[in-house]
Each structure stands twice: as structure tokens, then as C-alpha cells.
């Protein structure tokens, strides 16, 4: 596969202070100092960052960072993207260094999302310290997953599978809308695509090692840390025990534990009848 994992997400927001309180006080992430241009990064593990927040008038996902194994992997992805007719920017050493990576390229996909492809992200020599004693499931599985709404669903599925080398895990229908769950490592899905009239982020997910941390984060939301969009439940496809909080930007954040790991040699693609075995009551609207 060309892409190893979901590496990081960049979010533009006019509510950065609210985001940082939510990330630290509710989710247990470690907040880093802002850099000179006002971007604040957030750690979940030994990487220098997994999330970053920049000041902006619009509440939106500005970049999706996909990790590749090395320089050869980056060249392979660039060739695939250019072969698919996309314009690719090869970023110089200064821009790569500013992003804490050794190599970096970026493009805009057919849905309109800005994608970054990188290798060699810096690991911090300082230990990750969660203000809520949370431990996140990352490593080779990456940040978690991101769910994107796209008006060009068929082309988006083709792009992620044929161009980027993702594999289809499952499909689902939410009313008339089709959903595809796609993986690039043993995590059940690193990206899911929802058929929609306009592009945008639906939610992103982070996973913790302790089911009680899910409960504590849920309590923190109930105590005023954030609104709950969908309550505790277990998904039918990746078996994640989770709930969905409303982020300061208005889209969802899934906080979960116990996601299934896919064995490519035995996994069979299915269309699941519904998103959850139980729970997850509420609405993502």
C-alpha cells in the first residue's frame, strides 16, 4: 500500500481557545505552545503533533495528513497522483521542516480536500503527558480515522482505492446516502466516505486503551465540557465502543475503545445493515 496511516489533521477555527480546553480537559490530549504564526499543536503520543489548530473565520478541516513509509513511498504516491491527473506540489525543505517532517507533498483531491503526504515526522524526546491520564491507540495505526462527506462519492472511492491503495472494509447505507469504509493498515478504517451534496468533515475518531477513559470523557462532556451528539454505543462494523461529542467547530468527535483489527487474509467485505449494534442514540446534525 502507498499510504501507511492517517498522520494528522489541521483545523481552521475562530474558537481555538474552546478547542484547546476541549482537547485537554475532556479528551486528555497534551497542548503544545503556539508557534510564531499562531498555530497550536496537540499531541496524542510520541509524535510532535497529531492535531493542529489555526485561526480562521471558517470552522473547517484544512488539511489531511497521510503518512507514507519513506522517500521512495512519497515518490510513488506523487507518481500515482500525477498519473491520475492531479497537480502535486513538492514542498521544499523549509516547508517540510515547518511541518516537522522530512519530506512533504500536497494536492487537492476531486472532492476539494487538501491532502498532505509525508514521511519522517519528528518524534518528541519529551514524554507524552495526558492531563487526564489518557493513552491513545496510535503507532502504526495512525491518529484514528476521519469521515468525509463528498458530492463525488464514486470517484472518491476510486481515488482512495485505485490511486492511494486503500482497501474497502465495509459499506453501509444511511437512508439514500452510500458510505464506504476504507483502510490502509489493520485499523478497520482510516477514512470513511459519505455520499453528500457538499464536501465537508462529518467527524474524526480517536481511540483510547482504557474503556474507563471513554466513560470519564463522557462524564466530562455531561459536566459541561461539550455537547453529546450521539450517546454511548457499539458500532457493528469496527466494534468500537464510543460516543460522539460536538466539537467547538460544530462537527463530531468520536471517542472510543476496542476497535477491531482487520486481518487482510481472512476479511470479507460486507454491506452492514446498520451502523450500531446498540446505543449511539442521538443525531449528528
Residue 170 lies in a domain: yes
pLDDT at 120: 98
pLDDT at 33: 87
Instruction: Clarify whether residues 107 and 170 are in a common domain.
Output: no
Contact 214, 255 (CB under 8 A): yes
pLDDT at 229: 98
Residue 43, domain extent:
5-119
pLDDT at 1: 55
Instruction: Clarify whether residues 163 and 263 are in a common domain.
Output: yes
Instruction: Clarify whether residues 266 and 206 are in a common domain.
Output: yes
CATH number for the domain spanning 245: value is 3.10.180.10
pLDDT at 285: 76
Residue 254 lies in a domain: yes
Q: What is the DSSP string of 219-263?
A: HHIIIIIS-EEEEEEEESSS--EEEEEEPTTSSEEEEEE---B--
Instruction: Clarify whether residues 153 and 88 are in a common domain.
Output: no
Mark 118-149 as b/e (b = at least 16 C-beta within 10 Å): bbbbeeeeeebebeeebebbbeebbbbbbbbb
Residue 131 lies in a domain: no
Q: How far apart are CA 171 and CA 188, in angstroms?
A: 12
Q: Mean pLDDT in runs of 10 for the chain (285 residues)?
A: 92 97 98 90 98 96 98 98 98 96 98 99 96 98 99 99 98 97 99 98 98 98 96 98 98 99 97 97 91
pLDDT at 74: 98
Instruction: Clarify whether residues 274 and 148 are in a common domain.
Output: yes
Instruction: Clarify whether residues 184 and 263 are in a common domain.
Output: yes
Residue 284 lies in a domain: no
Q: How many domains does the chain have?
A: 2
Instruction: Clarify whether residues 115 and 143 are in a common domain.
Output: no
Instruction: Clarify whether residues 150 and 264 are in a common domain.
Output: yes
Instruction: Clarify whether residues 52 and 105 are in a common domain.
Output: yes
Instruction: Clarify whether residues 17 and 106 are in a common domain.
Output: yes
Query: pTM for this one?
Result: 0.97
The total of other beta-carbon atoms located within 10 Å of residue 248's CB is 21
Instruction: Clarify whether residues 260 and 156 are in a common domain.
Output: yes
pLDDT at 261: 98
Residue 57 lies in a domain: yes
Instruction: Clarify whether residues 113 and 143 are in a common domain.
Output: no
Residue 209 lies in a domain: yes
Residue 222 lies in a domain: yes
Amino acid at each position: 500500500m502507498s499510504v501507511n496511516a492517517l498522520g494528522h489533521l489541521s483545523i481552521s477555527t475562530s474558537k481555538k481557545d474552546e478547542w484547546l480546553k476541549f482537547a485537554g480537559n475532556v479528551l486528555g490530549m497534551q497542548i503544545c505552545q503556539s508557534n510564531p504564526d499562531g498555530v497550536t499543536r496537540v499531541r496524542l503520543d510520541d509524535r510532535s503533533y497529531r492535531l493542529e489548530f489555526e485561526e480562521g473565520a471558517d470552522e473547517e478541516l484544512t488539511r489531511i495528513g497521510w503518512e507514507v513509509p519513506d522517500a521512495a513511498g512519497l515518490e510513488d504516491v506523487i507518481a500515482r497522483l500525477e498519473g491520475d491527473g492531479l497537480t502535486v506540489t513538492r514542498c521544499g525543505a523549509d516547508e517540510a521542516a515547518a511541518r516537522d517532517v522530512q519530506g512533504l507533498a500536497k494536492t487537492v483531491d476531486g472532492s476539494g480536500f487538501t491532502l498532505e503526504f509525508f514521511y519522517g515526522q519528528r518524534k518528541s524526546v519529551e514524554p507524552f503527558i495526558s492531563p487526564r491520564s489518557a493513552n491513545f491507540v496510535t503507532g502504526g495505526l495512525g491518529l484514528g480515522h476521519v469521515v468525509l462527506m463528498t458530492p463525488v462519492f464514486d470517484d472518491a472511492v476510486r481515488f482512495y482505492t485505485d490511486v492511494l491503495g486503500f482497501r474497502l472494509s465495509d459499506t453501509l447505507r444511511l437512508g439514500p446516502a452510500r458510505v464506504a469504509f476504507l483502510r490502509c493498515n489493520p485499523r478497520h478504517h482510516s477514512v470513511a466516505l459519505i455520499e453528500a451534496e457538499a464536501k465537508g468533515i462529518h467527524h474524526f475518531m480517536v481511540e483510547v486503551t482504557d474503556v474507563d477513559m471513554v466513560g470519564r470523557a463522557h462524564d466530562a462532556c455531561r459536566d459541561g465540557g461539550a455537547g453529546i451528539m450521539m450517546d454511548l454505543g457499539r458500532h457493528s462494523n469496527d466494534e468500537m465502543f464510543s460516543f460522539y461529542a460536538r466539537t467547538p467547530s460544530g462537527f463530531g468527535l468520536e471517542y472510543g475503545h476496542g476497535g477491531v483489527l482487520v486481518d487482510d487474509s481472512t476479511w470479507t467485505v460486507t454491506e452492514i445493515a446498520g451502523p450500531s449494534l446498540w446505543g449511539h442514540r442521538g443525531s449528528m446534525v
